Amino acid sequence: MLVLSRGAKEKIVFPNLGVKIEILRVAGNRVRIGVDAPKDVRVLREEIASDEDLHAMPDSEVARHRRHAQRNELNTASLALRLMEKQLAAGMSDDAMTTLHKALRSLDAIDAEIGSEHAPPKKISAGKRRALVVEDNANEGELLAGYLRMSGFAVDVAGDGVQAMVQLSRHDRPDAVLLDMSMPRMNGGETVRMIRRDPGFEGVRLFAVTGANPGDFGVPIGPSGVDRWFTKPIDPAALVQELRGELALAGPC
């Protein structure tokens, strides 16, 4: 396992690859990253998977295309993890988290492809918009998520900015992120800046749902920050109405 600093653990598991990544942000600038992988997943150690490993796959046109795609994804993950190490060593924690995000995307793509042959078809909720609620108070987060679900949204929940970035890297892109500002490990301001720096999230609506004031975290209201700022205690019906307006949705609250 590669350990770059000390701290408590949070595991990100890729079950089909047998890979675990552990991550923790401490005191705003210290980040702990760990990588645990089987010996045959050499991309996370010293090299890309060898020709011998990859040519063990069935030799068909589909398999050749799959090998090529997996090489690219493995190479992306390997480069991202190596760059992340250097960024952490240089104290560039925010950049390192963005780079880790890219590595997680590549690993998740490979893991999903390996597991797809045996996975049941996904049930897609037609017409539902997706929202991610980021709230360190678990009870509060689940209550807001429940209200949004009853209002017709598909909702995921994250406990802080670190979990939010993991969710964003491993799940379908949400239409909106509703996030608190005062959170441990990675606060709302840091999370907003990281999302806005990633072109993959262009167009995602960000809503601050917090007891803090807009000036407290240096987050502007507008395209470079959050789209709307809701100060707690909130009126959930009004929040849903504004959310629907931002997403051009119609229907009762």
Task: Say yes or no: 94 and 143 in one domain.
Answer: no
Task: Say yes or no: 233 and 182 in one domain.
Answer: yes
- Choice among 106-110, 157-161, 185-189 with the minimum mean pLDDT: 106-110
pLDDT band at 142 (very low <50, low <70, confident <90, very high): very high
Task: Say yes or no: 95 and 165 in one domain.
Answer: no
pLDDT at 168 over 80: yes
In a domain, 101, yes or no: yes
What residues contact 155, with CB distance under 8 A and at least 6 apart?
130, 131, 132, 133, 145, 148, 149
In a domain, 238, yes or no: yes
In a domain, 135, yes or no: yes
Task: Say yes or no: 139 and 112 in one domain.
Answer: no
Q: How many domains does the chain have?
A: 2
pLDDT value at residue 31: 56
pLDDT band at 84 (very low <50, low <70, confident <90, very high): confident
Distance between CA atoms of 168 and 185, rounded to whole angstroms? Answer: 17
In a domain, 123, yes or no: no
pLDDT band at 35 (very low <50, low <70, confident <90, very high): low
pLDDT value at residue 17: 65
pLDDT value at residue 116: 52
Task: Say yes or no: 99 and 152 in one domain.
Answer: no
Provide the domain limits for residue 101: 2-116
In a domain, 234, yes or no: yes
In a domain, 124, yes or no: no
Task: Say yes or no: 108 and 168 in one domain.
Answer: no
pLDDT band at 64 (very low <50, low <70, confident <90, very high): low
pLDDT value at residue 184: 81
Nearest-5° Cα angle at 111, 109 to 112:
65
pLDDT at 229 over 90: yes
Backbone dihedral angles phi then psi of residue 16, each to the nearest 5 degrees: -75, -20
CATH number of the structural domain spanning residue 232: 3.40.50.2300
- Average pLDDT over every residue of 15-23: 66
Last residue of a domain, one of 116, 140, 166: 116
Task: Say yes or no: 85 and 107 in one domain.
Answer: yes
Backbone dihedral angles phi then psi of residue 39, each to the nearest 5 degrees: -60, -30
pLDDT band at 46 (very low <50, low <70, confident <90, very high): very low
pLDDT value at residue 81: 76
Task: Say yes or no: 138 and 112 in one domain.
Answer: no
pLDDT value at residue 225: 92
Task: Say yes or no: 110 and 187 in one domain.
Answer: no
Question: Is the separation of the CB atoms in 156 and 165 below 8 Å?
Answer: no
In a domain, 253, yes or no: no
Task: Say yes or no: 61 and 160 in one domain.
Answer: no
pTM above 0.85, yes or no: no
pLDDT at 139 over 60: yes
Task: Say yes or no: 110 and 145 in one domain.
Answer: no
Last residue of a domain, one of 116, 145, 175: 116
Question: For the segment 177-218, what is each residue's pLDDT rounded down to a tens digit?
Answer: 999 999 887 889 989 998 998 888 888 999 999 998 888 888
Q: Which residue has the higher pLDDT, 244 or 13?
A: 244
- Average pLDDT over every residue of 101-122: 64
pLDDT value at residue 178: 96
Q: Which residue has the higher pLDDT, 169 or 115?
A: 169
pLDDT over 70 for what percent of the chain? 61
Task: Say yes or no: 99 and 154 in one domain.
Answer: no
Last residue of a domain, one of 76, 93, 116: 116
> What is the overall mean pLDDT for the chain?
74
Q: Which residue has the higher pLDDT, 126 or 208?
A: 208
In a domain, 60, yes or no: yes
C-alpha neighbours within 13 Å on the C-beta side of residue 210: 26
